[in-house]
């Protein structure tokens, strides 16, 4: 059985924020994680990603990431959710430690960002890097986290004049060359709003590997080309709206789905606009206001939204996240 076959989940994967306390060091608030898992279960999200971008994994120490992983591992025993743990974005030795730990606590899959400073320069370098990560957790599927806007590891835009430090690796080329070099490779989390690149990667994956779309703007269109697994960060603040979009598109009602997709995109853009175009920090605050759990503040350098003025503005905007 291939790693992709072992990853048999289809649908929406919840992207969990890491709960922090409102103290000077933003210490972990692990006590709310069981309630957080239950909330996702009530909203019918059968899988959860932790320690990812919205989970501020790269803002935590390795020990903190282990503590969060262990808390979620215990929580999903009750909710029976698929647990994916993001292990990358740090030095390779710690990445391997986190991958091995994820396997030891029976995580269902792992996700890996590349090294964020010494970036892979070619498909071959990326394959070599992921091969080592996979060897640290050979029994569970490994997914590569393709987020070039954040990592600079991409080649779709290689024709542009860019600084030499911004490096590019094309996912279609990656799938064509990886073959069986990474036995545990399950696929790629595709965090790019480029439907053409996504389709080319999907064709190259040739049903051997899974592509998980991580985007808030092209859900109906991605379904039309064959994507069946999604990781939109907006599911934290608009769970019912996201489910409505996916449900309509999957049953062929693309025009209706696009109406709700436009509503979601507009709402996310408005939320991002209050934070210089970055939606994550205000979305964490929206989650604490609208969900039955308080996920707390963000860590620096991210801005924390917690003033009465912030609340008034965000409450007004969050009305656009409801299914009408």
**In the beta sheet, which residues pair with residue 229?**
11
Q: Residue 212 in contact with residue 170, Cβ under 8 Å?
A: no
Q: Which residues contact 236 (CB under 8 A, 6 or more apart)?
A: 14, 15, 17, 54, 283, 284, 286, 287, 291
Q: Give the whole-angstrom CA distance, residue 33 versus residue 12.
A: 19
Q: Tell me if 84 is assigned to a ligand binding site.
A: no
The strand pair at 11-15 and 185-190 is best described as unpaired
Q: Give the whole-angstrom CA distance, residue 178 versus residue 181.
A: 6
Q: Give the residue numbers marked as catalytic.
A: 145, 189
Q: Which amino acids are annotated as binding site, given as ranges?
A: 231
Q: Which amino acids are annotated as binding site for pyruvate, given as ranges?
A: 231
């Amino acid at each position: 059985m291939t790693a992709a076959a072992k990853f048999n989940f289809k649908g929406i994967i919840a992207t969990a924020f890491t709960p922090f306390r409102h103290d000077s060091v933003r210490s972990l608030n692990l006590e709310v994680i069981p309630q957080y898992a239950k909330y996702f279960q009530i909203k019918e999200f059968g899988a959860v990603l932790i320690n990812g971008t919205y989970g501020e994994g790269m803002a935590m120490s390795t020990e903190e990431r282990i503590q969060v992983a262990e808390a979620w591992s215990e929580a999903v025993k009750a909710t029976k959710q698929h647990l994916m743990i993001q292990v990358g974005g740090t030095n390779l030795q710690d990445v391997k430690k986190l991958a091995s730990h994820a396997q030891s606590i029976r995580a269902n899959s792992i996700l890996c960002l590349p090294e964020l400073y010494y970036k892979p320069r070619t498909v071959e370098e990326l394959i070599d890097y992921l091969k080592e990560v996979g060897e640290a957790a050979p029994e569970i599927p490994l997914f590569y986290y393709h987020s070039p806007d954040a990592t600079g590891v991409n080649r779709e835009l290689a024709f542009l004049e860019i600084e030499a430090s911004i490096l590019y690796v094309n996912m279609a080329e990656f799938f064509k060359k990886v073959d069986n070099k990474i036995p545990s490779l399950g696929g790629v989390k595709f965090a790019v709003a480029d439907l053409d690149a996504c389709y080319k990667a999907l064709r190259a994956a040739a049903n051997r590997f899974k592509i998980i779309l991580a985007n808030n703007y092209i859900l109906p269109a991605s379904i039309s080309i064959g994507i069946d697994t999604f990781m939109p960060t907006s599911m934290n603040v608009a769970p019912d709206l996201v489910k409505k979009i996916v449900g309509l598109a999957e049953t062929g009602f693309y025009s209706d789905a696009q109406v709700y997709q436009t509503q979601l995109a507009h709402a996310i853009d408005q939320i991002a606009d209050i934070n210089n175009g970055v939606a994550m920090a205000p979305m964490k605050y929206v989650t604490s206001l609208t969900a039955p759990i308080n996920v707390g503040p963000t860590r620096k350098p991210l801005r924390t939204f917690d003033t009465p003025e912030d609340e008034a503005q965000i409450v007004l905007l969050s009305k656009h996240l409801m299914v009408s």
